[in-house]
A and B are shown apart, each in its own frame.
Chain A
Amino acid sequence: MNQTPALHIEDLTVAFDSRPALWDVDLAVPEGVLMAIVGPNGAGKTTLIQAALDLIPRAAGTVRIFGEPVARARGLTGYVPQRGSVDWDFPTTVQDVVMMGLYGRLGWLRRPGADERQRTLQALEQIGIADLATRQISQLSGGQQQRTFLARALVQDARLYFMDEPFAAVDAITERAIVTLLQELRARGRTVVVVHHDLQSVPDYFDQVTLLNVEVIASGPTAEVYSEDNLRRTFGGRVAGIARLTEEAPP
């Protein structure tokens, strides 16, 4: 384990108007794992991702991505924001949204060309929505919107992905497609950090888990840290979703 972690966060505090959203967070994500971030509403899950990507200012702490400061690791990270964070009435197509993932690589002023179109189509095929390429995005279902965002992350060809609630309100078929994609990414040695809300599926989908409620309650391999006790400490005793977990996974 002397390898550089994909993501290394130390002493991270983020505050909105002196009200801490994250408090003294230490976190290390080894390369090549799928990690879930789990916690109640307002636990700072999205804030953690945004701070790790330098999208919001930190009050204190450092973030390293593959040992580099965030600003120098922009090409290594991919980001899938929450589906609701954008306006799906925007006048554009699925293909166009996916191609936006390549804008960072293109840099200022350069226009997407044949190579970019090729990569876009590949990503659309891989994620199973090639037939929607020229569809206006306002006509997509929730699951199709999520897949569009995933395809956009895929073309970024990053080593470390952050996904904010990709499983939120998608149908079973899309959920399976996302899981398949996550496993493919892991097989290719990529690291994925996923904000997740379905407590039951955590042990099935993820190697590692971080339990977060403003502070890190526990973080590590799912088998070790995903215990009823830790969940209770994270959610404050209101954990209906872990009934199955405690039945099926005796320590």
Chain B
Amino acid sequence: MATLEALLIDLLLRVTDLQQLNAILGDPQATALITGGLVAFAAALPGTFLLLRKLAMTADAISHTVLLGIVLTFLLLAALPGLEADLNSPWLILGAALAGVATVLLTDAIQRSGLVREDAALGLVFPLLFAIAIILISRLADDVHLDSDAVILGEIGVVWADARSHCLQDCQPLEITPDDPRAETGRRCTNCVELDIGPRDPAAEFEEYCLNCGSYTAAEAWRARLVPQAPTLVFWPRAITSMLLVALLNLAFIALFYKELKLGTFDPALAAALSLRPALLNTALMVLVSVTAVAAFDAVGSVLVVAFFIIPPATAWLLRDRLAHILLLAPAGGVLASLAGYEFSRGNFLGIAQMRDLLLMLDEAIGLDGFTEWNTSISAAIVLMMFLFFLLAWVFSPRQGLLLSLLQHRARQQHFAEQLLLGHVHHHQGTAEAASELAHAGLHQHMGWTPRKTQRVLARLRLRDMLQIEDGILQLTARGERSVRRFMALRGTSGASPAAGR
């Protein structure tokens, strides 16, 4: 991890300077933005496959049960001698991945028993595991920084605070020995405890010892004012590194096994028949989902992370109907939504409106009791924006959008009404009853339409030169005649073999 961070810092310093880099990495909002974007990118990739496998809610279950994996591993580390219980330990990732896979296996086992259905099996397993985790946290890990609020909502705003320092210059570690001129000495009582006396007791004996001896990193040495020259430091938030690693891992996995994942998702039976191990790949996918959920845990918590897995792919699916396109579009859309959501949390709604102005207006209009400060959770704002994007895609999608199908429906109805009228004229033209049937004045009664609709259809047909009115009688033009023929020919064959398609 540290090496990767050093490498990244080295790269970044080629495009920016130290001061700017530290300003960005130390800025709560900038780091929240970067982390949110990385979570969105990393989650959308496996999320696409979850969505296609109808496993959307499995993502929700896993994002909760990984907590049990974390807690159990943490307690195990604390119990085992020689290992340090640390919330940044890589072992926690392993524990979380195991918990995620266990969730899926347990759900499958319950479902196979035939007693409950799949959705209920999931509903049984994940609250159980999550509840155990919550109890363990509150009972056993009270002193640890793991509280239920953080677990549920995440703390993307304080990602910057948990950083690792990287020293770039003047990085000599310092060893202070008792002979060092900077060593400070103090006295301590050697027999006070033994004799149960105070240090002021005349029987007390003392020895001298060094107060500040030991080894210091350059940063610690500077903080303790042991060196005159400040080392050059970069504080790199840990969450950015872990999210970046997970994003790269997901990207590599899906790029490498794209073909196998596609077949295993579309037709697992064929994948198995071709020896492409769909079950193994499925487990691998669940491991990735678990690892992603854990890495995203600090930032967005366990409840909202499911949105990062599911909404961007669902949005992309509304817009495109090729898997490869969805896999490109979903992460991009997720990152964009993170950006918009981050701005939204600061009160800027897509650059269109300021929430503060809006709230002030509402306050004046209906009275919000002075609730005019717009200050909201970044992760919640991102999820809102993801949903807004989804909504926009749903309404405006050129593929199957609401608006489009509405327009198409309207156009079909208009076209049909036109053909009906043309057919009516065609049917009665030149017959004895033409004078009454085709009279412009009484037409709407013959068609059974309102006069307004009749006039509208007529106007459209006349505009397109398909119909003319001569002495108050409707007549087909040559174009109108052709249109009627075409429509009737089409109708004649359309009923015969709808499924043949050739």
| Mutual binders A and B | yes
- Is the beta-carbon distance between A85 and B267 smaller than 8 angstroms? yes
B259 touches A143 (CB 8 A): no
A138 close to B (CB within 8 Å): yes
- What residue of chain B has the Cβ atom nearest to residue A173's Cβ? B500
**B263, B266, B498: which contacts A87 (Cβ < 8 A)?**
B266
Q: Which of B271, B275, B325, B326 has the most CB of A within 10 A?
A: B275
* Also in contact, A103 and B276, with CB within 8 A (given A91-B317, A143-B499, A171-B500): yes
Q: CA separation between A93 and B272, bound complex, in Å?
A: 21
Binary per-residue interface labels of chain B (272-307) against chain A in the complex, 1 for a CB within 8 Å, 0 otherwise: 111110000000000000000000000000000000
A136 within 8 A of partner (CB) = yes
> Do A141 and B321 touch (CB < 8 A)?
no
**CB-nearest residue of chain B to A105:** B274
Name the distance in Å between A230's Cβ and chain B's nearest Cβ: 30
Chain B, residue nearest A82 (CB): B269
**Does A97 contact B259, Cβ atoms closer than 8 Å?**
no
CA distance A12 to B325 in the complex (A): 45
Docked Cα-Cα span, A81 to B271, in Å, equals: 11
A100 touches B322 (CB 8 A): no
Closest to B400 in A: A138
Select one of B266, B274, B323, B502 contacting A173, CB under 8 A: B502
Asked if A91 and B499 sit within 8 Å, CB to CB, the answer is: no
Interface status of B81 (Cβ within 8 A of chain A): no
Could you say which residues of chain A place their CB within 8 Å of the CB of B317?
91
B14 to chain A, nearest CB (A): 34
Asked whether A81 and B267 contact (CB < 8 A) given A108-B276, A173-B500, the answer is yes
Per-position 1/0 for A130-143, Cβ under 8 A of B: 01100010101111
B265: Cβ under 8 A from any A Cβ: yes
| Interface residue? A40 (CB, 8 A) | no
Interface residues of A in 91-110 (CB under 8 A from B): 91-93, 97, 100-101, 103-104, 106, 108-109
Is B52 located at the chain interface by the 8 A CB criterion? yes
**Bound CA–CA A81/B272 (angstroms):** 12
**Contacts A87-B266, A100-B267: A141 and B322 contacting too (C-beta < 8 A)?**
no
Q: Given contacts A81-B269, A85-B269, A92-B322, are A100 and B263 in contact (CB under 8 A)?
A: yes
Residues of A near B501 (CB, < 8 A) are 132, 140-141, 143-144
The listed residue (A55, A90, A97) touching B52 by CB distance below 8 A is A90
**Between A and B, how many residue pairs show CB distances below 8 Å?**
93
Does A47 belong to the interface (CB within 8 Å)? no
A79 interface residue, CB < 8 Å from B? yes
Supposing A81-B267, A90-B52, A92-B322 touch, asked if A74 and B500 sit within 8 A by C-beta, the answer is no
Complex Cα spacing A226 to B418, Å: 58
Q: A111 on the interface (CB 8 Å rule)? A: yes
* Contact A79 B266, beta carbon cutoff 8 Å: no
Tell me, in angstroms, the Cα distance from A104 to B275 when the chains sit together. Answer: 7
- Known contacts: A141-B498, A141-B501, A171-B497. The answer to whether A81 contacts B321 by CB under 8 A is no
B270 within 8 A of A: yes
Assuming the contacts A141-B498, A144-B501, asked whether A79 and B52 have C-beta atoms less than 8 A apart, the reply is no
Q: Using Cβ atoms and an 8 Å threshold, which residues of chain A touch B325?
A: 91
B310 to chain A: closest CB distance in Å? 15
Does residue A53 face the partner (Cβ distance < 8 Å to B)?
Answer: yes
B259 CB contacts on chain A under 8 angstroms:
103, 106, 111-112
Q: Which residues of B contact A17 (CB under 8 A)?
A: 114
Residue numbers in A under 8 Å from B323 (CB-CB): 90-92
B275 touches A92 (CB 8 A): no
Contact B500 A143 (CB under 8 A): yes
A208 contacts chain B at the CB level, 8 A cutoff: no
B257 CB → nearest A CB, Å = 8
Knowing A100-B266, A109-B256, the reply to whether A173 touches B497 (Cβ < 8 A) is yes
Closest CB-CB distance, A179 to chain B, in whole Å?
16
Q: A90-B52, A93-B322 are in contact. Are A104 and B274 (CB under 8 A)?
A: yes
CA distance A132 to B500 in the complex (A): 12
| CB atoms of B275 and A74 under 8 A apart | yes
- How far apart are B490's CB and chain A's nearest CB, in angstroms? 18
- How far is B230's CA from A22's CA once the two chains are assembled, in angstroms? 79
Contact A74 B274 (CB under 8 A): yes
Distance between Cα atoms of A144 and B52 in the complex (Å):
22
If A91-B326, A103-B259, A108-B260 touch, whether A74 touches B266 (CB-CB below 8 Å) is no
Asked whether any CB of chain A lies closer than 8 Å to the CB of B320, the reply is yes
Check B428 for interface membership: any CB of A closer than 8 A.
Answer: no
Could you tell me the distance in whole angstroms from the C-beta of A147 to the nearest C-beta in chain B? Answer: 9
Interface residues of A in 175-193 (CB under 8 A from B): none
User: Whose C-beta in chain A lies nearest to the C-beta of B323?
Assistant: A91
Expressed in whole angstroms, the minimum distance between the Cβ of B421 and any Cβ of chain A is 31
Check B502–A128 contact: CB distance below 8 A: yes
Q: Determine the chain A residues whose CB is within 8 A of the CB of B274 once the complex forms.
A: 74, 103-104
Please give, as numbers and ranges, the residues of chain A lying within 8 Å of B52 by CB-CB distance.
87, 90-91
Complex: chain A residue closest to B256, CB-CB: A109
Minimal beta-carbon separation of A169 from chain B (angstroms):
9
B residues less than 8 Å from A111 (CB atoms) = 259
Interface residues of B in 209-264 (CB under 8 A from A): 256-257, 259-260, 262-263
Task: Check if B499 sits within 8 Å of A141, measured CB to CB.
Answer: yes
Inter-chain contacts of A50 with B (CB < 8 A)? 269
Q: Which of A104, A136, A170, A173 contacts B321 (CB 8 A)?
A: A136
Taking A81-B267, A144-B501 as given, write out 17 further A-B residue pairs in contact, using a Cβ cutoff of 8 Å, ordered by the A residue number.
Answer: A50-B269, A53-B272, A55-B273, A79-B269, A79-B273, A81-B269, A91-B320, A91-B323, A103-B274, A103-B276, A104-B275, A104-B276, A108-B257, A141-B499, A143-B501, A173-B497, A173-B502
Some 14 contacts from A to B, beta carbons below 8 A apart, are: A79-B273, A85-B269, A91-B323, A91-B326, A92-B262, A100-B266, A103-B259, A103-B271, A104-B273, A106-B259, A108-B276, A140-B501, A141-B499, A174-B499
Q: List the 6 shortest-distance A-B pairs measured between CB atoms, nearest first.
A: A104-B274, A171-B499, A141-B499, A79-B273, A91-B321, A173-B500
Give B contacts to A, CB under 8 Å. Answer: 52, 54, 114, 256-257, 259-260, 262-263, 265-267, 269-276, 317, 320-323, 325-326, 497-502
